[in-house]
Copies of this chain bind each other. A is one copy, B any other.
Amino acid sequence: MLNVDSNNVLAGKIGSGNGIKDTELSVLCDKYQPLVGKVFAAKKQAGYNFLELPGDMTLLRKIKKFADEQAKQKWENIVVLGIGGSALGAIAIRDALLKPFQQTPRLHIVDNIDPAYLSALLSSIQISKSLFVVISKSGTTTEPMVQYAVIKEMLMKKHPKNYQKHLVFITDPKSGLLRKMAEKEGIVTFDVPQKVGGRFSVLSSVGLLPAALAGVDISGLLRGARDITESIKKLKGVNNPALLLATLQYFMDQKRSKSMTVLMPYSNHLFRLGDWYRQLLAESIGKNPTTGPTPINALGTTDQHSQLQLYVEGPNNKLIIFFRVLKHAKDFMVPNVLPKEIGQLNNKSMSRILDASYLGTAESLAKASRPNLTIEVPKIDAKNMGALFMLFEFQVALLGLLYKVDAFNQPGVEHSKTITKQLLS
């Protein structure tokens, strides 16, 4: 099970100017405890409805059945056309759970309209051997619709009679442009859940269907999410991981001026979970000039050689959250060939060296009074990924209540869209 180690945020370890006394932390968590119940009580409401996703066994069966059928087509590529909440969950799942260099089928997620990049992708795949998953709730999102228009034309040239079999839409169950197109043209569809926002939708069709088509154990994702939901329901105060994370992040931002939250996994495979979290935190809480810690991605050990200098000696304005993987999927022993100056590396496993690097970094930050905490992940599998998604979603729902903002809208992006539309009209 996931574990949160908050030792390096305590005043006893890093000083009271930047840390929090353990008694104060307990008091705060107890004070905020009712918010947990409030989130659960709201689970039928728009936004909070993400809590119901992991229990949808009907959808799970439907997706599995469809994925099994599609497996017979032996697709070489599953290509997702989507952006933001329609892309970041699938990317996080792919990078965590699929082999990075040799997937069959390969899972591509096109979350931009850079023409040079799209061209390079399309010239590297055979569209005859590709299934395209178009994701947009309304069907008005510029990026997937532009991508779709370009790809549909290619498909219709190549397969005029049955281009539809290369397409699946994930869209609003009833209304919207994509829904209309699907009905007219006979394209298979899955639903974007109506009461869940894009950035909370990874455990719906939006994240599950691409994952299942690429061979991910989606039952495990849901099981992990259900398990941690139970823990969050049961555990109290500082023992509740979502409550502890929310309390600390809120306290560190508002009372200790840590205006940035750095996610720093010691695993390449969890790096892009950080991108998913970036959207979740930024769009949910960044609502006015006094709310919204800025999320930042980093990677251990890589960023020890890039960002650590700043984190240790620069402005003390960050809360750093490490991910420590307790068991990696593979390991290497360093053979006894290195000279004595670095002889401590000989006959050690690579995972042990990685872990010692994490410990050194966390400790050196603590010594410099920089608050940091660690999420321990037993291993990177579907169950733990499901748990991480749900943990953070719940945490951010709590943050919405703490900051007193609507965690489920994003009014600030409309103006940019309006100007862009005017420029193109």
Contacts and interface: CB of A to CB of B under 8 A. Distances in A.
Interface of A: 83-85, 87-88, 99-102, 111-121, 123-124, 139-140, 142-143, 145-146, 149-150, 152-153, 177, 180-181, 198, 259-260, 266-269, 275, 278-279, 282-283, 285-292, 294, 296-297, 299-302, 304-318, 328-332, 334-335, 337-339, 341-342, 344-346, 348-354, 356-357, 359-361, 363-365, 367-368, 380, 410-413, 415-421, 423-425
B119 A339 contact: no
Contacts of A335: 149-150, 152-153
A354 B330 CA distance: 41
Query: How many copies are assembled?
Result: 2
A416 B313 CA distance: 12
Contacts of A260: 260, 294
A318 B332 contact: no
B121 A416 contact: no
A331 B150 CA distance: 11
A334 B149 contact: yes
B259 A317 contact: yes
Nearest to A345: B146
Contact of A120 (B99, B198, B363): B99
Given A290-B315, A317-B259, A309 B356 contact: no
Contact of A420 (B142, B143, B278, B357): B357
B287 A306 contact: no
Contacts of A117: 100, 267-269
A161 to B, nearest CB: 18
Contact of A150 (B332, B339, B342): B332
B353 A424 contact: yes
